[in-house]
Amino acid sequence: MTDLAALPAWDALTAHAATLRGVHLRTLFAEDPDRFARLSFAFGPLLADYSKNRITAETLGLLSELAAARNVESARAAMFAGQRINRTENRAVLHTALRNRDASSVQPLDGTDVMPEVRAVRDRLKAFSEKVRAGAWTGATGAPIRHVVNIGIGGSHLGPMAVAAALEDYRRADISLDFVSNPDRAQIDDVLKRLDPAATLFIIASKTFTTVETMANAHLAKDWIVARLGAGAVPKHFAAISTNVDAAVTFGLSPDAVFPMWDWVGGRYSVWSAIGLPLIIGCGYEVFDQLLAGAEAMDRHFETAPLEQNLPAILALIGVWNIDHLGMAATAILPYDHRLRLFPAHVQQMDMESNGKNVTMDGAAVGAGTGPIVFGGGGSDSQHSFFQSLHQGPRIVPCDFIIAARGRGANDKSRDLLMANALAQTEALMKGRTAAEVTGAAADLVPHKVFTGNRPTTTLLIDEVSAYTTGMLIALYEHKVFVQGVIWGINSFDQWGVELGKELAKSLEPAVSGGPHMEKALETRDSSTAGLVAVYLKAKETP
């Protein structure tokens, strides 16, 4: 693979950045009254305004040349064709097949069409969820299920939890949804103490049925059910998403309540699969199908549109421009809708786990900045916490503002207030305020009231937070992350960086438990780790 920095397209962008670095966004807007029309893109119920980024038509042209030099279109085709683009794990990447709703086939390199099995699992999910919702699947005492607790971690936790919050208006009022991931048992204890065991269904989401944190919580849940309803109650109160059916059955589950996963679906891309079971039970299969439909619409757009008219590609390339050529190493995700409050956490994992890499597919150093530091939160609350730094801090952070034009059943003044605040923030970040514009302040206060502005934002405006638009938004970010990975030459679909900590934790467990092998577990540790273990063990002994 050609070194990124050696590409003529990369050099051209570097030179172009030097000409734009001192140009203020105020100037760009003043020179082009039609800037918004030229630098915004409408697709269905979604409008993306990227005019408040420090870009011009020339910037976008040069970025398109970079995409061509990095063969983004052929990489895109390879993903949709089911080729094993996850080379470090020799796997296809087919989360898009999970939301393929037409009659077409998807055949990976081995020639097997994955769609018949995908459709069969969808049918099973629909049938199982309808039984639960109708009261045909009951607990051991015959009580209908009224509480669903998802036990997972990572993508099998953040994805469905974020979507559940987004789709709260579609949820049945008499079925609660909870999500447990933390091995600190305080989390699951807080959930269990307000549930009726006779009406509770646990969903264990673990592809291998061996994930340490997930299985620790699964056993706590099982103990809770057994203590209250008896061992024979377990099959009626547990379902699982896993490839390891035998382990699930050994745990006590009915095979009818075990739904498969595939190795071509990464956890952070899995909400479209059986991992979505808690959403299906809570909201109904028809709502889940609309989630798939929104994602599928974005897939078709991404797959077929030329890159210069391709929303995920445009946003991805602007991100590369901000990170690598303007030196902005972070991104803030700021939804101005309460239903999307958990969306930043999902995007954070999707982006940072995918593109937080420092070597290319070939194992060479990347030679450029890769995935940004992603953070965020609900826009209104964030205005009163970290926005101070966004406006006047020394580090410029590009921001994505996500706004819904209307709320479901809440088209009142509160929506106007949200919109006014969001748009005002993007304007303030763009314009700033000069010393000459500060009025009514003592001279010594003027520097404190000056804002440099020239800080990039992208605004994503949807008509409302629905299952369809939620699917569109998630797929948009998935494809944006993919395109950026292709530009940087990295594998966006492995996550070896999480493995070392897991391995060391396993070897440390005998030490922190104070067992007979404690000394052996500590003999090769550094003094800090060994010292902290000693303090922990002493604290455990304190009444």
For residue 84, which phi and psi values (nearest 5 degrees)?
Answer: -80, 70
Distance between CA 505 and CA 498 in Å, rounded?
11
Alpha helices per DSSP H over 263-366: 277-283, 285-304, 311-320, 343-355
148 and 205 in one domain? yes
Is 353 one of the annotated active-site residues of the chain?
Answer: yes
393 and 343 in one domain? yes
88 within a domain of the structure (yes/no): no
Is 384 one of the annotated active-site residues of the chain?
Answer: yes
**Which pLDDT does position 105 carry in this prediction?**
87
Three-state SS at 523: coil
274 within a domain of the structure (yes/no): yes
202 and 343 in one domain? no
170 within a domain of the structure (yes/no): yes
Is 437 one of the annotated active-site residues of the chain?
Answer: no
520 and 390 in one domain? no
511 and 470 in one domain? no
| Sole residue written with tokens 């204890």 | 189
| Tokens standing for residue 52 | 């408040």
Given 288, 321, 353, which residue is the final one in a domain? 288
Answer for the pair 463, 405: CB distance below 8 angstroms, yes or no: yes
Distance between CA 299 and CA 294 in Å, rounded?
9
Three-state SS at 167: coil
Among candidate residues 31, 117, 502, 509, the one labeled active-site is 502
243 and 223 in one domain? yes
DSSP E strands: which ranges in 356-507?
373-376, 399-404, 457-462
Alpha helices per DSSP H over 489-542: 499-512, 518-522, 527-541
pTM equals 0.96
293 within a domain of the structure (yes/no): no
474 and 411 in one domain? yes
Q: Name the residue range of residue 214's domain.
A: 115-288
351 and 265 in one domain? no
82 within a domain of the structure (yes/no): no
Q: Which residues of the chain have pLDDT under 70?
A: 408-411, 517
For the chain, how many structural domains are there in total?
3
250 and 230 in one domain? yes
Distance between CA 161 and CA 530 in Å, rounded?
37
| Residues near 446 by beta carbon (within 8 Å), at least 6 away in sequence | 435, 438
Virtual torsion, Cα 117, 122, 123, 124, nearest 10 deg: 90
527 and 465 in one domain? no
- Checking 483-486 for CB contacts under 8 A at 24+ apart, the result is 483/67, 483/72, 483/76, 483/312, 483/313, 483/316, 483/317, 484/316, 484/319, 484/320, 484/355, 484/370, 484/371, 485/354, 485/355, 486/70, 486/71, 486/72, 486/75, 486/76
**Which pLDDT does position 540 carry in this prediction?**
85
CATH number of the domain encompassing residue 132: 3.40.50.10490
Distance between CA 64 and CA 58 in Å, rounded?
10
Given 240, 257, 288, which residue is the final one in a domain? 288
Distance between CA 537 and CA 529 in Å, rounded?
12
Q: What is the widest separation between alpha-carbon atoms in the chain?
A: 77
99 within a domain of the structure (yes/no): no
For residue 178, which phi and psi values (nearest 5 degrees)?
Answer: -130, 155
Answer for the pair 332, 400: CB distance below 8 angstroms, yes or no: yes
For residue 143, the 8-state DSSP code is P
Among candidate residues 236, 325, 338, 353, the one labeled active-site is 353
Upper half-sphere CA count for residue 73 (Cβ side, 13 Å): 12
Task: Name beta bridge partners: 149.
Answer: 178, 202
41 within a domain of the structure (yes/no): yes
| Sole residue written with tokens 């994805």 | 159
**Which pLDDT does position 411 carry in this prediction?**
64
275 within a domain of the structure (yes/no): yes
Given 255, 288, 321, which residue is the final one in a domain? 288
133 and 44 in one domain? no
| Sole residue written with tokens 């069969």 | 120
| Tokens standing for residue 23 | 């140009």
397 and 348 in one domain? yes
Among candidate residues 193, 384, 413, 538, the one labeled active-site is 384
| Tokens standing for residue 253 | 């589950």
